Amino acid sequence: MSNSPVPTTTKSALRLSQLLRHAVVDSQGKQLGKLADVIVRLRGDDYPLVTALVVKVGSETIYVPIADVAALEPNRVELTTARLNVRAFQRRPGEVLLNADVLGHRLIDVHMASLVRAHDIYLSSDTATWAVTGLNVHQTHWWSTRKTISTDPARDWKSFEALIGHEPSVLVRAPFGKLRRLKAAQIADLIETADAKEQSELLTQVHNDPEFEADVFEELDEDSLTHLLKSRSTADVASVLTRMRADDAADAITDLPQARRREVLALLPEPQHTKVLALLGYHTATAGGLMGVEYLALAEHATIQDALDLIRTSTTQQPEALTTIYSTADDGTLRGAISIIRALQTDPHRPLREVADPDPVHAAPQDDIIDVTTRMADFNLLTLPVLDESGHILGIITVDDALEAALPQDWQRREPQTHASLTPGAV
């Protein structure tokens, strides 16, 4: 059970802007200094707990534990003592400085899968503790006639993931933190719009799950992917590409310098090395360059049930590649195709040669993108097989890859739209 304090309303919560640079007084009301920052400790999915204050006393910066604080009030902080321990402040793993790390900085709105800026921070208390429970991400401009932003809605802290840029604190978080609610494509969009420091923290968190990291890299646009791979060691690049789809890995390797390309290829395990090397022989703007080498093909005497059983066990293959079942002759040449929907609606004991559409629409590896997309649109295809001169399947093109290739570059690079999360319980 969570021990999180209950978020309060904007009216009853204390805003950080009401505390910063205001007086810190002793138990007799004498001013000792001014508040410079508030220190909180990350607690996974719980609200960060206030553990200490940073007080500016003359030219010194003093650490004051929360146990020495009698009251936090708008424009005033009262201590329980008149004496301050002048020990130097040193941040520990898991600690966040609200003013230095969060206020005015960008963080991830997990609900909307976008980067936003924290314009104020809300602190709430129960009988014993103070915790961060809310954020205001609505900017008040200098020309606004409002004298306070307290009327702006306070968003729940749990709807955000702070990018604090402090590596020891990042590493003590639960893997992914709140980012686990996001899809790979959403995190890729965040990385593409983040600055170098924000990218570094996002990549550090994503790196905790190598399989998901590969999914994120597959979703990055070409420029971002090239930039990130160039900044990594050869071993790191090979590790990521090993987990990527062979066609995406081949596209990524193409943009590396020739010498480094050979080094990365040498580190790829079989059969990934063989698949990638074969795909590198095709121009990226052709059917051969667009195709993936994962597909579902069975001998034409196999039954529908055999195909469905194979789909159930093909958990590592790209789902889009499993939407069509291909049948082959004894010599391996393509004979027929049937969609998974038609297969599910057919007697499972019937052999593929009786139910698959004969002579499926296909492409040659040298066909260009226009030929591929036109053919897929004309015949309403989710996948298009690419055949060699003998009629053997070299690979297939999925509709998502065809669509991405057909989109103009300026359309692909437009500002991504934000979409609210459908995660149950999201604020």
- DSSP string covering 34-67: EEEEEEEEEETTEEEEEEEEEEEETTEEEEEEGG
Q: Which of 35, 54, 65, 50 lies closest to 124, judged by CA?
A: 50
207 assigned to some structural domain: yes
Whether 261 is covered by a domain: the verdict is: yes
Shared domain for 52 and 153, answered yes or no, is: yes
Domain shared by 153 and 275, yes or no: no
Same domain, 101 and 201: no
Do 27 and 93 fall within a single domain?
yes
Looking at residue 223, which CATH number applies to its domain?
Answer: 1.25.60.10
Residues of the chain with pLDDT > 70, as a percent, come to 85
CA–CA–CA angle 85, 88, 92 (5° rounding):
110
Q: Is residue 169 part of a domain?
A: no
* Strands annotated E in 74-125: 76-79, 95-97, 106-109, 114-117, 120-125
Residues 80 and 199 reside in one and the same domain: no
Cα distances from 248 to residues 122, 134, 153, 242, 367, in angstroms, run 44, 40, 43, 10, 19
Residue 314 and residue 373 in one domain: yes
Tell me, yes or no, whether 195 and 130 share the same domain: no
For residue 426, being part of any structural domain is answered with no
CB 185 within 8 A of CB 417: no
Cis peptide before 271 (omega within 30 of 0): yes
Backbone φ and ψ of 78, nearest 5°: -110, 135
For the chain, what is the domain count? 3
pLDDT score of 4: 46
Low-confidence ranges of the chain (pLDDT < 50): 1-6, 9-10, 141-150, 423-427
Structural contact between residues 108 and 179, judged by C-beta atoms closer than 8 angstroms: yes
What pLDDT is stored for residue 144 in this prediction? 46
The residues near 422 (Cβ < 8 Å, ≥ 6 apart) are none
Instruction: Classify residue 193: in a domain, yes or no.
Output: yes
Q: Assess whether 21 and 153 both reside in one domain.
A: yes
CATH code of the domain in which 400 resides: 3.10.580.10
Tell me, yes or no, whether 262 and 330 share the same domain: no
Q: Which of 102, 125, 160 is the last residue of a domain?
A: 160
58 in the same domain as 144: yes
Q: Phi-psi bin for 65: left (phi > 0), alpha (psi -120 to 50), beta? A: beta
Residue range of the domain that includes 265: 174-281
In a domain? residue 325: yes
Assign residue 118 the CATH number of its domain: 2.30.30.240
Contact assessment for residue 325 and residue 393, using Cβ atoms and an 8 Å cutoff = no
Phi, psi at residue 60, to the nearest 5°? -100, 150
User: In terms of C-beta density within 10 A (0-12 exposed, 13-18 middle, 19 or more buried), how is residue 345 classed?
Assistant: exposed
Helix/strand number for the chain, H first, E second = 16, 20
Please state the pTM of the whole predicted model: 0.74
Q: How many other C-beta atoms are found inside a 10 Å radius of the C-beta of residue 318?
A: 20
State whether 227 and 344 are in the same domain: no
Beta carbons within 8 Å of 2's beta carbon, 6+ residues apart:
45, 46
The pair of structure tokens assigned to 13 is 């919560």
Query: Six-digit token pair at 426?
Result: 């999201």
pLDDT at 422: 52
Q: Which residue has the tokens 């146990």?
A: 67
Cα(252)–Cα(237) distance, integer angstroms: 10
What pLDDT does 66 receive?
A: 93
